[in-house]
Amino acid sequence: MIMREIPLFIINGFLESGKTTIIKEIIDNNEAYKNNSTVVIHCEDGEVEYDKEWCLNNKVHVEYVEDQAELTPDFMRNIDDIYHPNQIVIEYNSFFDWESQEFPNDMVIYQQITMIDAQTFNVMFNNMRQIFQSMVKDSSLVIFNRCDGVKDLSAYRRWIRGMNQNAQIAFEGANGRLTAMLDEDLPYDLSKSEIAFEEDVYPTWYIEVFDNPEKYMNKIFKFKTYVRDITDNTFVIGRQVMTCCEDDIQFMGYEVINDTDSSVKVDDCIYLECSVEMAYSNIAENTVVMLRAHKISKLKKEKETILTL
């Protein structure tokens, strides 16, 4: 007998970040939800509620959970036995321990969305980075709402990108969704054809290139870096970057096509002059962002410092 698979959709974020609103918008605008039974598991109370008429019209059943100890595999199985839902949406409490959260094997996470209030993000991120890390790291979509008047959105995007390199990041104002391609307040001038930057700028440059490679093509970039790996035709450069706290350090690097006569070794400290392009990588086995070296200068070996976003 084939096991019936039940899709789970996780919507997380702090209280008043817009979780209930986005859930209602998704259900209102998706015929697949309207024509099938949905259970919403509500883990904290905010300003927006699920009124009875709306639930009836959309075949939505709401269950309330106050403590993570209640949100067990047995609880989830009981939900299935009672409602036989086509999908389950969990309005998750950001203070629950996501690492210890368990679901039955037949309930599969299809998508995780994180909602963030841009008006309060700066203060909350500086005080609760590890909670943000937990919320964001498995999300496929991160939505900043209430963005009107917020000037630091490009920096916010880089901070989130440092925690999750694959998530789509979107921005929403009072009149709807804003483009994720914002006017950048960058620490270098992209209008120039040759751009040199200090090593503390590298994390910003890395994320910007990763997100918007087309904006960085046909330019020469110059910076200090370290060689991390060598293949037959390429080598890998990059830096260790603290994205959240001392326990969350990750390598941010690119594969480099070497068009120069210079050879490098692992752990070499170099000054690299390169361009950005999309090319096939044997390491990634796909077409990805790569660098093409035009000049390599060896630098005196020194202890590498960990950079921060």
Domain-embedded: residue 57: yes
Q: Does 168 lie in the same domain as 32?
A: yes
Domain-embedded: residue 187: no
Q: Does 245 lie in the same domain as 102?
A: no
- What single-letter DSSP state applies at residue 301? -
Residues sharing a CB contact under 8 Å with residue 55, sequence separation 6 or more, in sequence order: 61, 62
Domain-embedded: residue 32: yes
Residue 211 belongs to domain spanning: 194-308
* Cβ proximity of 294 and 274 under 8 Å: yes
Q: Does 164 lie in the same domain as 252?
A: no
Domain-embedded: residue 65: yes
Q: Can you give the CATH number for the domain in which 94 is found?
A: 3.40.50.300
* φ/ψ (deg, to 5) at 90: -110, 115
The more confident residue out of 179 and 117 is 117
Instruction: Give the residue among 68, 113, 70, 73 at the shortest CA–CA distance from 93.
Output: 68
Q: Does 140 lie in the same domain as 212?
A: no
- What single-letter DSSP state applies at residue 182? P
In whole angstroms, what is the distance from residue 72 CA to residue 261 CA? 60
Task: Write out pLDDT tens, residues 42-58.
Answer: 998 777 789 999 999 99
Domain-embedded: residue 1: no
Tracing tokens 């006017």 back to the chain, one arrives at 183
Q: Does 143 lie in the same domain as 257?
A: no
Task: Write out pLDDT tens, residues 54-81.
Answer: 999 999 999 999 999 999 999 999 999 9
Confidence at residue 82, expressed as pLDDT on a 0 to 100 scale? 96
Q: Does 110 lie in the same domain as 142?
A: yes
Task: Write out pLDDT tens, residues 139-183.
Answer: 999 999 998 888 888 889 888 988 898 898 888 887 666 554 454
Q: Which of 154, 178, 202 is the last residue of a domain?
A: 178
Provide DSSP, 187-247. Answer: SS-TTSSEEE--GGGHHHHHHHHHH-GGGGBT-EEEEEEEEEEE-SSEEEEEEEEESSSTT
- The mean predicted confidence, pLDDT, of the chain is 90
Domain-embedded: residue 167: yes
In whole angstroms, what is the distance from residue 166 CA to residue 139 CA? 9
Average pLDDT on 239-268 reads 89
Parallel, antiparallel, or unpaired: how do β-strands 286-298 and 269-281 relate? antiparallel
Domain-embedded: residue 186: no
Q: Does 199 lie in the same domain as 136?
A: no
The more confident residue out of 18 and 48 is 18
Residues sharing a CB contact under 8 Å with residue 31, sequence separation 6 or more, in sequence order: none
Q: Which of 127, 149, 178 is the last residue of a domain?
A: 178
Above 80 in pLDDT, residue 31?
A: no
Q: Does 159 lie in the same domain as 206?
A: no
Above 60 in pLDDT, residue 190?
A: yes
* Cβ proximity of 224 and 271 under 8 Å: yes
Alpha helices in the chain (DSSP H): 19-28, 31-34, 52-57, 73-83, 121-127, 129-136, 153-163, 202-211
Q: Does 88 lie in the same domain as 116?
A: yes
Q: Does 162 lie in the same domain as 215?
A: no
Confidence at residue 181, expressed as pLDDT on a 0 to 100 scale? 45
Domain-embedded: residue 290: yes
Q: Which of 148, 178, 208 is the last residue of a domain?
A: 178
Q: Does 152 lie in the same domain as 32?
A: yes
Q: Can you give the CATH number for the domain in which 277 is found?
A: 2.40.50.140
Q: Does 115 lie in the same domain as 32?
A: yes
Question: How many structural domains are present in the chain?
Answer: 2
- Amino acid of residue 128: M
In whole angstroms, what is the distance from residue 301 CA to residue 290 CA? 25
